[in-house]
């Protein structure tokens, strides 16, 4: 049922996630991987949006998607699968609240 509210944009959700983590002392940063960047400049298409660096060398990757209509691209699926094969955790958050809840379940 449509309540007349628009689904928040991905970047707004991402800013909320960054704020949540930083307010709790986590080291988190965005992966700048914009369209137009070239691979020979170091860009890798499909990389998750955020990385959380934890103690002991552990990192958690977060891919932000809109709560409605957010889907992974084929390149994102490949990169996420590669990261997981290497033993990394990749969260796909359908909105900021979902991303934070998945993180809380992991720690």
Task: Give the CA angle between residues 80, 73, 59 to the nearest 5°.
Answer: 25
Question: Residue 80: which of 2, 96, 71, 66 has the closest Cα?
Answer: 71
pLDDT tens digits for 20-65?
Answer: 999 999 999 999 876 666 666 777 889 999 999 999 999 999 999 9
pTM here is 0.88
User: Looking at the predicted structure, is the pLDDT value of residue 2 above 50?
Assistant: no
Query: Can you tell me the distance from the alpha carbon of 9 to that of 24, in angstroms, rounded to the nearest whole number?
Result: 24
What is the model's pLDDT at position 102?
98
What is the model's pLDDT at position 40?
62
Mean of the per-residue pLDDT values of the chain: 90
């Amino acid at each position: 049922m449509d309540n007349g509210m628009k689904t928040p944009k991905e970047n707004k959700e991402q800013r909320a996630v960054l704020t949540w983590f930083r307010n709790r002392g986590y080291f988190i940063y965005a992966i700048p991987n914009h369209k137009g960047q070239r691979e020979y400049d170091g860009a890798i298409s499909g990389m998750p949006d955020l990385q959380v660096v934890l103690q002991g060398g552990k990192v958690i990757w977060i891919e932000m998607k809109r709560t409605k209509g957010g889907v992974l691209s084929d390149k994102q699926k490949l990169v996420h699968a590669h990261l997981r094969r290497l033993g990394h955790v990749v969260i796909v958050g359908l909105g900021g609240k979902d991303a934070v809840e998945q993180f809380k379940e992991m720690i």
